[in-house]
A = this chain, B = another copy of it.
Amino acid sequence: MLLSATTENYLKAIYKLNAQTTIVTTNNIALALGTTAPSATDMIKKLALNKLITHTKYRGVGLTAKGNKAALTIIRRHRLWELFLNKVLGFKWDEVHQMAEQLEHVSVPELIERIDQYLGYPKFDPHGDPIPDAMGKIAKHQYQSLLNENSGSLATIVAVTNDDVRFLKQLEKLNLTIGTKITILAKHDFDNAMEIKPMRKPAVTISEALAKNILIQLN
């Protein structure tokens, strides 16, 4: 069963919403894809017909095992391409997402496997997100948001939860990239701004919006 790029994008969106929210609703999906509720409803019907999702009218959708597998295949392609573009072709971590949005729909299994092999079967993409293996197995990381951590902690930045170019460029400027060891100097109650010191780099103050999208692991 070969899926259209549009169908793949819906599946991917549903998969991601599934991890974020309790129930995946029509409006959620429409918003995530920048489309309208009626369009989402139409696609939901088609996906349900193809047994990729379950759907109870007015009550939201859920992925079937088949749909989950399909979504992971697309995410695998996306993240492997991102890493390939970064590691092999030298693109920056803020450039690779947009390109991967197109490349993820190229459907040639041998190509993806070869890229995986070329990269040495990597576990994470340039943003710290886990890459599903050929069987669709994915390391469910449950890192915590920097925003939930308290002053005084020592931690390492392991991933980011936003692909926005502006966000990634800003992090880079602040020396807050994947793998960086940091010390949390302070957290301001009023606006949730945080003072962070990346190892061997000057301390910086970051907003709640920024901190929320940075995932860390305590040292």
Where the two chains meet, the residues of A that have a C-beta atom closer than 8 Å to any C-beta of B are 85, 88-91, 95, 98-99, 102-103, 106-108, 110-111, 114-115, 118
A103 to B99, CA, bound (A): 12
Residue in B closest to A102 when the chains form the complex, CB atoms = B106
Copies in the complex: 2
Which of B102, B108, B118 is A108 in contact with, Cβ under 8 Å? B102
A89–B115 touching, CB < 8 Å = yes
Q: Name the B residues within 8 Å of A98 (CB-CB).
A: 108
Which of B89, B103, B107, B111 is A114 in contact with, Cβ under 8 Å? B89
Q: Name the B residues within 8 Å of A88 (CB-CB).
A: 88, 118
Q: How far is the CB of A219 from chain B (nearest CB, A)?
A: 36
A118–B106 touching, CB < 8 Å = no
A48 to B111, CA, bound (A): 36
A89–B102 touching, CB < 8 Å = no
A110 to B92, CA, bound (A): 12
Q: Name the B residues within 8 Å of A89 (CB-CB).
A: 111, 114-115, 118
Q: Name the B residues within 8 Å of A110 (CB-CB).
A: 91, 95, 99
Residue in B closest to A103 when the chains form the complex, CB atoms = B106
A89 to B106, CA, bound (A): 16
Q: How far is the CB of A74 from chain B (nearest CB, A)?
A: 15
Residue in B closest to A99 when the chains form the complex, CB atoms = B108
Q: How far is the CB of A112 from chain B (nearest CB, A)?
A: 11
Of the listed residues A85, A89, A118, the one surrounded by the most CB atoms of chain B closer than 10 A to its CB is A89
